[in-house]
Amino acid sequence: MEINLSVNGSQVARDVTPMTTLSDFLREHLSLTGTHIGCDTSSCGACTVTMDGKAVKSCTVLAVQANGSEIITIEGLSENGSLHPVQEAFKEHHGLQCGFCTPGMVMTAVDILQNNPNPTEQEIRHGLEGNFCRCTGYHNIVKSVQHAAQSLNA
């Protein structure tokens, strides 16, 4: 089936099978391999991208459902080669180790801060409940989001 959508600001048109998930579409059809797949049950959040401005688990959206939408992936977050403030904060505060959950974490953090520019620690922790990290114990991820909030508000 033919789908047309905007990905990271570019209009793309592709022919996909109905079985293709948005995550597979991004990875296999567009080679945007920053979106990772860590589970089959919509639990881990590694595949999080934004769809029409909202964080979604792209493994649980069919590519055909994303027809006509605007998708931003981790690859589309930084502008002109400079890191987005959330990416910057993750780097500054060691919010990542193996890097596999990182794109999903960052995309979710961007969403959290869009909705709540001054989240408390508990609000950040709740906001990240749909994303697993096995490396960091979440400590520096939460710190990173706190600092990202500060720099976005500055």
Partner 1 sequence: MIPAKFDYIKATSIDQAISLLSQHGYEAKILAGGHSLLPAMKLRLNRPSVLIDIGGIDALGSITDEGDAIKAGANCTHYEIANSNLVKSHVNVLSQTARVIGDVQVRYRGTIGGSLAHADPASDYPAAILATDATISVRGSNGARDISATEFFQGIFTTALGEDEIITSIRFPKTANGTYVKFFQSASRFAVVGCAAVKNGNGIRVGITGVADTPYRASAVEQAYDGTTSAADHAIDGVDVMSDHFASEEYRAHLAKVFVRRALEQL
Partner 2 sequence: MTTNYIGQPVKRKEDNRFLTGKGRYTDDIKLPGMAFAAFARSPYAHAKINSIDTSQAANAPGVLAVYTGSDECGNFGVPCGWLVHFKNGEPMKEPPHPLLAVGKARHVGENVAVVIAESLQEARDAAELIEVDYEELSVVTDPRQAVQEGAPLVHDDAPNNTVYDWEIGNPKEEVDAAMDGAHHITKLDFKNQRLAPNAIEPRSYIADYDVNADKYTLYTSTQNPHLIRLLMCAFVLGIPEHKVRVVSYDVGGGFGSKIYHYTEEALLTWASKKIGRPIKWTSDRTEAFYTDAHGRDYCTTAEMGFDADGKILALRVHSEANLGAYLSTFSTCCPTYLHGTLAQGCYTTPLINIDITAAFTNTNPVDAYRGAGRPEMTYILEHLMDTAALEMGIDPAELRFKNFIPPFDGVNQEGYQTQVALQYDSGNYEGTLRRALEMVNYENFRQEQAAARENGKLLGIGFSTYIEGCGIAPSAVVGSLGARAGLYEVGHVRVQPTGKVSVFTGSHSHGQGHETAFAQFVADHLGISMDDVEIHHGDTDQVAFGMGTYGSRSLAVGGSAIVKSLDKIIEKGAKIAAHKLEAAEGDLEFANGQYTVKGTDKSIAFGDVALTAYVPHDYPEGLEPGLDFSSFYDPANFTYPFGAHICVVEVDQDTGKVDIRRFIAVDDVGNVINPMIVDGQIHGGVVQGLGQALLEGVSYDENGQMITGSYMDYAMPRADDVPFIETDRTVTPCPHNPLGVKGAGEAGAIGATPALVNAVMDAIAHIGIRDIQMPLTPERVWRAMQA
> Which helix (H) or strand (E) is 28 found in, with range?
none
| Residue closer to partner 1, measured from CB, 78 or 114 | 114
Segment interacting with partner 1 (CB under 8 A) among 60-68, 76-84, 93-101, 136-144? 60-68
Nearest alpha-carbon partner for 58 in 34, 82, 84: 34
Q: Applying CB under 8 A, does 21 fall inside the site for partner 1?
A: yes
| Residue closer to partner 1, measured from CB, 111 or 136 | 111
Distance CA 74, CA 23 (A): 12
β-bridge pairing 2-7 and 70-72: parallel
Nearest distance from C-beta of residue 55 to partner 2, angstroms: 14
Distance CA 26, CA 32 (A): 5
Segment interacting with partner 2 (CB under 8 A) among 50-58, 63-71, 73-81? 73-81
